[in-house]
Amino acid sequence: MKYLLASLSALLLALPAAADSPEWKLISESEDPEKVTSWYVDMKSIVHEDDYMRAFLRTSWSVPQYAGDQTAYQSSTYLNYIDCDTGKIAFTANAYFAGIEPEGKPVHQEPEKPLSELKFQQVVPGSAGEKRVEFVCLFRSKNFLTQRAGSAVRG
């Protein structure tokens, strides 16, 4: 009985952390076998906000990437705002991680900017950006949350 209670307590303590953890779904991958780039969306983060869809996305590289200061990273997460009517996308709150999985403390982080300061860009037809827009906009007509939740940095 003591063991059962201890196990249940440990499980209950772990539940809030699991509920907050991202649910990464692979959207697309590059075709270069020597340098695979993978794009994911956190399915739990897709929401309507104002006239946009909002979602946390992630890019992972099979080989290290290097920032201007030579800091190595292999994944990044970022908040995307998508205008489904125009096919434009804007991003903010970038966080860069040393490993392929966005775990631990970021090696570099950029703060989230207000929506009014974001620059929306048209995505290139056939690009990974277009695939992100198409995927997230599939959820536009569904009954998703309409208010923000959580922090901008997802890991």
CATH of the domain at 92: 2.40.128.710
Considering the domain boundaries, does residue 129 fall inside one? yes
In a domain, 14, yes or no: no
- The answer to whether position 93 is within a domain reads yes
Structural domain count, the chain: 1
Q: Is residue 10 part of a domain?
A: no
Q: Mean pLDDT, to the nearest integer, of 139-150?
A: 57
Residue 65 inside a domain? The answer is yes
**To which residue do tokens 């952390």 refer?**
17
How many alpha carbons fall within 13 Å on the CB side of residue 113? 13
Q: Which residues of 99-112 are buried (b: 16+ CB within 10 A; e: fewer)?
A: ebebeeebbebbeb
Domain region containing 70:
23-137
Query: 65-113 pLDDT, tens per residue?
Result: 999 899 999 999 999 999 999 999 999 999 999 999 999 999 999 999 9
- Kindly report the length of the chain: 155
Most confident of 9-13, 27-31, 106-110: 106-110
Q: Answer yes or no: is 7 within a domain.
A: no
Q: Is residue 15 part of a domain?
A: no
What pLDDT, on the 0 to 100 scale, is given for residue 1? Answer: 47
Buried b (16+ CB within 10 A) or exposed e, 57-96: bbbbbeeeeeeeeeeebbbbbbbbbbbbeebbbbbbbbbb
Quick check: is 147 in a domain?
no
Q: Which residues pair with 79 in a beta bridge?
A: 56, 92
Q: What percentage of the chain carries pLDDT values higher than 70?
A: 79
